[in-house]
Amino acid sequence: MRDRIDIGGVSVSPDHFIGGKRVSSPRTFETRCPFDWDRKLADISLGDADTANQAVEAATKAFPAWAALCQAERSAHLHRLADLIEERKNDIAMVECLDMAMLLESLQLRLVPRGALNFRNYADLAAEHEERVWSSKGTANRVIRMPAGPALIITPWNAPFMLSTWKCAPALAAGNTVILKPADWSPLSASVLADLIAESGMPPGVFNIVQGGAEIGNALTSDPRIKRISFTGSVPTARIIGRNAAENIVPFTAELGGKSALLVFEDADIDAAAKKAAGQYDDSGQVCMAGSRIIVQESVREKFLERFHHYADQHVLGDSFDSATTVSAMIHPIHVERVLGFIERARAAGDTIVRGGKRWKEGQNWIEPTLIEPKSNDSEVVQSEIFGPVLTFQTFATEDEGVALANSTAYGLSGIIYTGDAARAERVGRQVRGGTVWVNTFLVRDLTAPFGGIGISGIGREGGDYALDFHSDLKTLQILEGSVRDCS
């Protein structure tokens, strides 16, 4: 076990968490502060195939006893963990702010408390579950949820703590043991979560956390002892995981990002729509559900753009500790260069850079909030996920044309519609392809609702009973009516 590290006044272990203990690796990888890139935070234990095997062994060993607990006992463990998250929310927020650069205030007020809510929500949903019971063809029938086994959870580098809790909570509530692999660009808040797991008294091996990249990821996704895989990340990585899961016939969900439309009709509240559009630069656009394609009815083009620039001009780029900052640094210089590459290729292809289009402060991890008007709907910036502070702007004449533009990419994670017409809200809301479509609002989430994508935005659904069913083996038990009697 290696020495713990001070991260903004919080003691954090750089090691894995396997079988209730810290486990170190001889090799390491470094993590740095995105908004102060010269500041090295830690050397993190780099997992390999042997680390993966240790984690799967621990999760497999712990599974029978955890699965055998009654639902009330498992739910009590999750509520204790939620209590500890609430008690340590400022520490978690500090670590994640330094490691990922999300705004500290946002983490303290929204993202970390949501992590506690995730565990509470699934603890209660699982405890309140009622089996489906019915009679059919002379038999009494029940659908029973059975814990599936060790579940592998792979999370992305954006909002890592919240997304880890969102994906791990239903797996644990369903009676599965868990191996969590956070992204190697932002692993530190998961390490704090491991400390809370140990403090909560959860049995060793029920919740394991391993760190690293492709080597450990491939070993874990290829292991036949893994019975569920839940992944959030990129399409290319999902294809690799999907092939490994298919080899072992393992159920697999994938949430793969989006290229969502923000569709504005002439009868909308244009000021509200423009303000929400400018808000898509939050977190430097590193949000999978962001409405990054602004599509506005031609008749209100100029009115919309005037209000959009008004609100975009109010953004403040800066330090993630500063409450005045609205646009944080991007996660990593590699990602900054990737996003700048999209902008430069758009410029070279003849797309119009309406605003922004360059790095803010040379050598730093910010890009100015950028708006691009493409010369064609086939432009790369329209069809590819950029995952940065880059929005596109297009116009349409008719409702049908607007819907066609909204549905013109291979993605389908979400959509945003602004209209003042109730009939249009219902009609267009049904037509826009997306796992979640908002009308006159954005990012309002009911945790019992299904969440996931269409097309290359992913497969499967998370949220509510949908996630609990995924993490269970469903059994139909049929008993011939009148053939048995109560002998208790």
Active site residues: 167, 255, 288, 462
**C-beta of residue 415 within 8 angstroms of C-beta of residue 263:** yes
Q: Are strands 390-396 and 293-297 parallel, antiparallel or unpaired?
A: parallel
**Distance of CA 392 to CAs 206, 261, 377, 395, Å?**
45, 10, 10, 10
Of 356, 333, 195, give the one whose Cα is nearest residue 280: 356
Residue 284: Cβ-neighbour burial (10 angstroms; 0-12, 13-18, 19+): buried
3-state secondary structure 16-85: EEECCEEECCCCEEEEEECCEEEEEEEEEECCCHHHHHHHHHHHHHHHHHHHHCCHHHHHHHHHHHHHHH
Task: Say how many residues make up the chain.
Answer: 488
Most distant CA pair in the chain, distance: 80
Other residues' Cβ atoms within 10 Å of the Cβ of residue 402 = 25
Tokens 């002998």 belong to 487
Let me know: does 232 contact 155? Beta carbons within 8 Å: yes
Of 122, 164, 75, 153, the residue nearest 468 (C-alpha): 122
Q: Which residues pair with 16 in a beta bridge?
A: 23
Query: What single-letter amino acid sits at 100?
Result: M
Our separate counts of H helices and E strands in the chain read 16, 24
Over the Cα atoms of the chain, what is R_g?
A: 24
Q: Is 4 helix (H, G, I), strand (E, B) or coil?
A: coil
Is the torsion defined by CA of 404, 407, 409, 415 positive or negative?
positive
What's CA 252's distance to the chain center, in Å? 15
Q: Are the C-beta atoms of residues 251 and 221 closer than 8 Å to each other?
A: no
Token pair in block for residue 425:
């809200």
Do residues 274 and 308 make contact, with C-beta atoms less than 8 angstroms apart?
Answer: yes
Nearest to 298 by CA among 266, 263, 270, 261: 266
Distance of alpha carbon 466 from alpha carbon 448, whole angstroms: 8
Q: Which residue has the tokens 């975009």?
A: 312
